[in-house]
Structure 1
């Protein structure tokens, strides 16, 4: 802890500003140990990054060592020398011979991991000091409109970044860093058997179209009431969480898994209602029968088995009603830190509340704040966010009931902030509503009535248990329609046997 500055009596003098916490000797000893035994790099690189070193030259040496080790090359003063012959800072310290000096003490091997921990923790302290200074400067500045709530929110984001990423600014990446991330994403898709470079939806037809759910993406899942958007979101959340469990059982590390722990913010349904839906899907028992107790002993055994299997599922449900976007972001950060969530579902967007400033009589502005907040959350936590959304009643007034982007309520900001927009559409729902009376020639009905009823039956048969997921917007690829099977009795979506993908009409 830094000592407070004491002002001594006598002649006034300017106190020296305390130096930032650092330990150059620990940094040097760690680098020397890594050059003597390259295996140390395998342990320390999981936490320690070049920017954690107080001395920039040490950060560059550390990065060079990791680069050689990654290529299965020996990293020592000889192999590193060509990489630092033109380095000005290295010349100031006597040239490449400084690398050999770093390896002068073999005793550093004993405490190498402790040195790495200390370098990391001192970097956190420096980042914390930077956040504290920024908070003080912002709070003292009253030149513009004073907004303490927003300052608290920004401070919380900065502190979360320190806790989660060790103070990394994250705003600027070299092209080399960006390409490594891109290659790692492609490798993940290859190892998953193709199609999935993000978090799996558990539905091959959707994965094939969108490549899974990508980190930092905001996915808007919209539909009219009765279309099954909550059911699809619940299915995806369960599938992602279950895939993570299976990958853990197969000893697949989290960074290579296409599953994820899921945070489900349900502003409409209670946690037990969502749990009932999931149990219904997995046990094959109608959720209505579950609620009313219309089940046999065998059904109950199936239910108990499913409940037992899902007891440790990494799916966390927050059913707090009337959440503000700021409160949701706070809870999501906490779940990310404590539970390591990799996917967030919000059901649904219009039930969230904005801040008091934007919600005073201007719903469009409030929705804009909420959609921007969800996109910011996706980028900040580097996880996909699925936000469910209602559609306007304009859909019901058209002959063609298939939704389009303009049907999104307060659609301007939602459409703009979203990386993908999905619409759930079930033709069966609308065909059932247009049922003509059952006709029969024997009863004297006209041939036209019989024809109309037979045509309706054909349409109903074709639409039965089928749902379409319309990909209306996708930054990563093309738009289109994915056909799925929907079992309304247990609210479960699954893949159709046939490949029903069709491109959208231009």
Structure 2
């Protein structure tokens, strides 16, 4: 098998020389080309395009400068323009070049992974998945356009479903007031739920997950911080109304055993999956979600928490903010490619503690990277009784929607029964 096609590369370059406007249609990049002179020529073509200059033999010769002799002089450029069977087949030539790059780069990457001598199967597979995703992104050759007519037909069907159908208008959040503010969690969105440690992020996530499960959703939970038994303790406590400390100790009263048995039968019927492997990479998470989505179309994904996700081996010695930014962007892409909401918990920095008003702000997102840019909604949890023992808002938690790409922002208040890891709607009526 050949890992390159000089003929296809020459046909791509020659077609551009014959019809310079093709430079605006190509999706190729410099290293798609194997033959060094072809790489140099294509790079020069891109430079001319960016400078808004015409791509022809004369301008290329001038732009190449001292590199002109490296590529074989003007003679080679003329030969390129004479070697194209038909410019109408430009897309086919470009596809061959990209196919050869995928095979070539894939083999090189696999050899490199193998030569590193990594005998950890988990890390080895993670690296392979990362290479696969990179190559898949590079191999896209279609333009992705949809005619407005098709889009409007789909829009009409969605609107009809909203008015007359039984299809929900989104996936429920943990509370009624929060639903009203956010418009619920929509497919293809990344939603961030952030707070300082011990404020209630995980409990909110689990309450939400159970609620979604009862509504018929398939729920995927990636718990990078806590083992699944601790999550199950909290879910059972909230569902059965049993104090969490009694579940941990196993010292249940007779009536609590009855509640426990009923709660277990309810929870066991829900389509909830928990992955509590520590140190998961974003590539492993994306692969698991893709697999689960195949047989579960109505899917929602929860991750506890974002800053614990491993960006992969390429980020081992790089800036932490860059890695978190890469993970954040990957989670957004995961929501798009699987047509599902992704809810990621996030830690806030200690900067919150330094202010008089300790309600979180966007700038408090720890190692924020691109989180603020990638997220469709960002919500913060705040408990006044966490900071102020004398507050009159005991067991009241504020969920502050600070960003909402498709709707309003605002604050929803809920009752947080911490002993039961339970969130309840709070029907607040101010006194007059």
Say whether residues 1:405 and 2:369 are aligned partners. Answer: no
Q: How do 1:134-213 residues align onto structure 2 when only pairs under 5 Å count? A: 136-140=100-104, 149=128, 150-154=130-134, 171-190=144-163, 197-213=169-185
Match of 1:475? 405
1:221 match: 193
TM norm structure 1: 0.58
| Equivalent position of 1:251 in the other structure | none
Q: SS in structure 1 opposite 2:412?
A: strand
Partner SS, residue 410 of structure 1: coil
Q: Which has the higher contact order (CA 8 A, sep 6+)?
A: 2
Cα offset, 1:498, TM superposition: 3.2
Give the match's secondary structure for 2:326: helix
Structure 2 unaligned segments of length 5 or more: list them: 1-94, 114-127
1:495 aligned residue: 425
Larger Rg: 1
- How well do the aligned residues superpose, as a CA RMSD in angstroms? 3.1
Looking at structure 1, the residues matched to 143 and 247 of structure 2 have their Cα atoms a distance apart, in angstroms, of: 48
| Distance of aligned partners of 1:145 and 1:421 in 2 relative to their CA distance in 1, 3 Å threshold | same
- The Cα shift of 1:305 comes to 0.8
Aligned to 2:373: 416
Deviations 1:440-477 (A, max 9, x none): xxxxxxxxxxxxxxxx3xx2xx2112111100001011
Confirm or deny: 8 A CA contact 1:198 1:214 kept in the other structure. Answer: yes
In structure 1, C-alpha distance between the alignment counterparts of 2:417 and 2:381, rounded to whole Å: 14
Q: Relative to structure 1, is the Cα distance of residues 192 and 208 closer, same or farther in structure 2, using a 3 angstrom cutoff?
A: farther
Residue matched to 2:275 = 318
- Residue 155 of structure 1 deviates from its aligned partner by 5.4
Instruction: Output the CA distance in 2 between the equivalents of 1:240 and 1:279.
Output: 16
Q: CA deviation at 1:286?
A: 1.2
Q: Tell me how far apart the structure 2 counterparts of residues 191 and 471 of structure 1 sit (CA, whole Å).
A: 29
1:294 corresponds to 2:251: yes
Q: CA deviation at 1:203?
A: 2.1
Give the distance between the partners of 1:271 and 1:379, measured in 2 at CA.
27
User: Among residues 336, 345, 352, which one is paired with 1:395 in the alignment?
Assistant: 352
Report the alpha carbon displacement of residue 158 of structure 1 after superposing the two structures with TM: 10
CA contact (8 A) 1:231 1:492 kept: yes
Structure 2: distance between partners of 1:429 and 1:191? 45
Q: 1:202 to 1:230 in 2, by over 3 A?
A: closer
1:340 is displaced (CA, Å) by: 3.6
Q: Is the 8 A contact 1:425 1:468 kept in 2?
A: yes
Q: 1:227 to 1:465 in 2, by over 3 A?
A: same
What is residue 273 of structure 1 aligned with on the other side?
230
Matched-pair contact (CA < 8 Å) for 2:322–2:369: no
Aligned 1:312-391 pairs, distance under 5 A:
312-391=269-348
Asked whether the equivalents of residues 358 and 369 of structure 1 are also in contact (C-alpha less than 8 Å), the reply is: no
1:412 CA displacement: 4.0
Note the alpha carbon deviations across 1:172-196, whole angstroms, 9 max, x for none.
22223333444444444445899x6
Aligned residue in 2 for 1:232? 204
CA distance in 2: counterparts of 1:282 and 1:401, whole angstroms: 31
Taking the aligned partners of 1:293 and 1:207, their CA distance within structure 2 comes to 36
How many angstroms apart in 2 are the aligned matches of 1:304 and 1:479?
Answer: 40
After TM superposition, give the deviation of residue 493 of structure 1 in Å: 1.0
How far apart in 1 are the matches of 2:177 and 2:166? Answer: 14
Distance 2:286 2:136 in 1: 10
Secondary structure in 1 matching 2:419: coil
TM-score, L = length of structure 2: 0.68
> Could you say if the C-alpha distance between residues 192 and 221 of structure 1 is closer, same or farther in structure 2, counting changes exceeding 3 Å?
farther
Q: CA deviation at 1:297?
A: 1.0
User: Structure 1 residues 188, 431: CA separation in 2 closer, same or farther (over 3 Å shift)?
Assistant: farther
Q: Aligned in 2, Cα 1:188/1:288: closer, same or farther, shift over 3 Å?
A: farther
Q: Distance in 1 between matches of 2:303 and 2:384?
A: 25
Residue by residue over 1:335-370, the C-alpha shift from the partner in whole angstroms, topping out at 9 and shown as x without a partner, is 111344510000001111112223314111111110
Distance 1:362 1:419 in 2: 24
Taking structure 1 as reference, are residues 141 and 282 closer, same or farther at Cα in structure 2, changes over 3 Å only?
Answer: closer
Is the CA contact (8 Å cut-off) linking 1:189 and 1:198 kept in structure 2?
A: no
Whether contact under 8 Å (1:359, 1:365) holds in the other structure is no
